[in-house]
Chain A
Amino acid sequence: MINLKNAKWNHYINYIVVAAVTIIFAILSLTGFLESSDKYLLEKIAIAITLAVSLSMVVGFLGELSLGHAGFMCIGAYLGGKAAVILEPMLGEWPALIVSLVIGGAVAAIFGIIIGLPALRLRGDYLAIVTLAFGEIVRSIFMNSSKESFGGSLGLDTPRFNKDILFIIAFVMVLATLAVTQNLIRSKHGRAITAIRDNEIAARATGIDVTKYKLLVFAISSFFAGIAGVLYSYSNFTVQSTKFSYNYSIEILVMVVLGGMGNINGAIIAATLITFLDVELQTILTGNLAVLQDLIYALILIVLVIYNNAPALKPFREKYNIKTFIGRFRPHNPSKHKDDEAKWDRVPTKIKMDEVLSVDLQVSSPYTPDKPGKEGK
């Protein structure tokens, strides 16, 4: 099916790396070299990558700002977790895991479509605040649920799973997320999605079904957020609603942004590094020093974003960066580029929020002409 001769290796490199890492750690785990804390860290990393990659679909490729990703994860965690609690005695470990993954993902996807509906009318910061509000609503509903249904403020206790295998399943889910996201983006549908991001009006005039694609992206992105939620419930044996506040959504967004918007490999690396540092620093910095971690994190974030984005630093950035450094050793020949060689990894992303006071109004009536039949005098 795939013609290997024409295969673009850089398109497949992330699958290969993730798969290789998984296999190495799987062997280490099954031969008993991994401590339980390592396995937990790996699970956390896999969950973070799934979240970051799925969010980067909305933010990087569709160009809409979402601050409610933790809300979708919350839905997945609670519903998937609940499904696992009910199904485990009936079906056994494995089927319960698989079914609850599907349930958690599917319900989150349905909510993704529901929250995608405002995205048809709202853009930029307005959509951001609506998605944030959605996440908080979801959290508040689960927090105030009865003890029998979702555990309320005490949280929901969920089944355990063999820790030697759970992180492998989590990484398989990472591969699935990568495959779906990248295959979608590198197709005619992905072109339509990026066209909407680049210029929505032109996309409509070119006949792109904007409604369909916006809802599709929200559905797929929240599907994987839901899956990440189910994995989270299995990884922690308990689901607490406090975990899924808007701060967590922001943390995921930061991974996407630090990775370079619309850059999937970058999102993977950022998610891995941030999660790793988070866990490692937690063990080093204890007591009063723990807050130092947040402080350093905040400082690094500010400095990095300013360095990467400040218009005044542009010449400096162009002079000293890895790409130009490598580029010096590589002959540049533009004519060698293949047709439609999609530089998906390097698509610069603009979210047009300079029309801040504006909102993209409904398509058919952007200027609100007078009502038909009621001609002005």
Chain B
Amino acid sequence: MEFIETLINGLSIGSTYAMIALGYTMVYGIAKMLNFAHGDVIMVGGYMIYVGLTVSGNPIISFIAAVLSCIILGITIEKIAYRPLRGASPLAVLITAIGVSYLLQSSAQMIFGSAPKMVTVADLGSISFSGLTIPVYVLVTLICSVIIMVTLSLFVKYTRTGRAMIAVSEDKGAAQLMGINVNRIIMITFAIGSGLAAFAGLFMLMKSPSLSNTLGAMPGIKAFTSAVIGGVGSIPGAMLGGILMGVIEAFSLKIPAIAPYTDAIEFLILIIILLVKPTGILGKKRREKV
């Protein structure tokens, strides 16, 4: 029984990671950059929910406000910080992203102070059947994630914009020559990624109500790790990597002997997987022509 509970808990942690990893992987695949600030967008989403709850008291309104503000934030960051650097050295873009990450964290601390805020989104309780006790938020997380992932996959596969995204990720120059507005596609990608980050923020606050300005930092790194494990640039890869990471984390935390080393174990798995398969589990090889 405990096994199944842990597994379901792992799946829920994993789907949160997958949600963040999707943002990383899409931006990585299309804008070819590691958006280090992505984790901090989650944090902003968290604070927006907090503000919304304080002002309106309605969880749904505050969540919608959080999603919208994250999307606007994502687009703004892309436009101001990353777009001027398109075509510059990828390392410069990475450093700027790190700068944006610091900026978001310190702004949040300026505005909301450094003491963690307690945010209770909604007390959903837990349900139990045939000996299993599962908190409702776990189920909500799982169901929402599945719906989002399916929608996203269909969107990328079957809509004009989705196909344009694939084209841009394959070859920016060629896509532009085919009449695709690359800037617009990249903007949409950032918008989607940031929107997903708001969802991740909600899931994380449902799990533990403590909100501080480093809320997104470690989950962000872990989610990027999941994206890399699954194969960066691949949407199913991000989901697989995220779920895998979450399940490992849940089980590792259950075993007292290795629980303190959970982070280390997750990172070790990353290193091993990359050494065995340098492109990640579902990553495609792209070869350099000699």
Contacts and interface: CB of A to CB of B under 8 A. Distances in A.
* Direct A–B contact in the complex, CB atoms closer than 8 angstroms: yes
Given A137-B264, A246-B221, A306-B84, A353 B32 contact: yes
Chain B interface size range: 35 or more
A356 interface: yes
B158 to A, nearest CB: 22
B95 A301 contact: yes
Contact of A361 (B99, B109, B264, B287): B287
A65 interface: yes
Chain A interface size range: 35 or more
A279 to B, nearest CB: 18
A133 B225 contact: yes
A305 interface: yes
B261 A140 contact: yes
Interface in B209-263: 221, 224-225, 228, 232-233, 260-261, 263
Interface in A307-354: 308-313, 349-351, 353-354
B95 A118 contact: no
A24 to B, nearest CB: 33
B114 interface: yes
Interface string B252-282: 0000000011011001101100110011000
B251 to A, nearest CB: 17
Contacts of A141: 261, 264
A302 to B, nearest CB: 4
Contacts, number: 168
A308 to B, nearest CB: 7
A253 B92 CA distance: 11
Contacts of A136: 221, 263-264, 267
A134 B95 contact: no
B90 A118 contact: no
Interface string B105-149: 111011001100000000000000000000000000000000000
Contacts of B232: 125-126, 356-357
Interface stretch (A166-174, A181-189, A217-225, A287-295): A287-295
Interface of B: 28-29, 32, 34, 81, 84-92, 94-96, 98-103, 105-107, 109-110, 113-114, 169, 221, 224-225, 228, 232-233, 260-261, 263-264, 267-268, 270-271, 274-275, 278-279, 283-288, 290
Given A134-B267, A250-B98, 11 more contacts: A117-B275, A136-B267, A143-B260, A298-B99, A301-B96, A305-B95, A306-B81, A308-B92, A349-B91, A353-B91, A357-B29
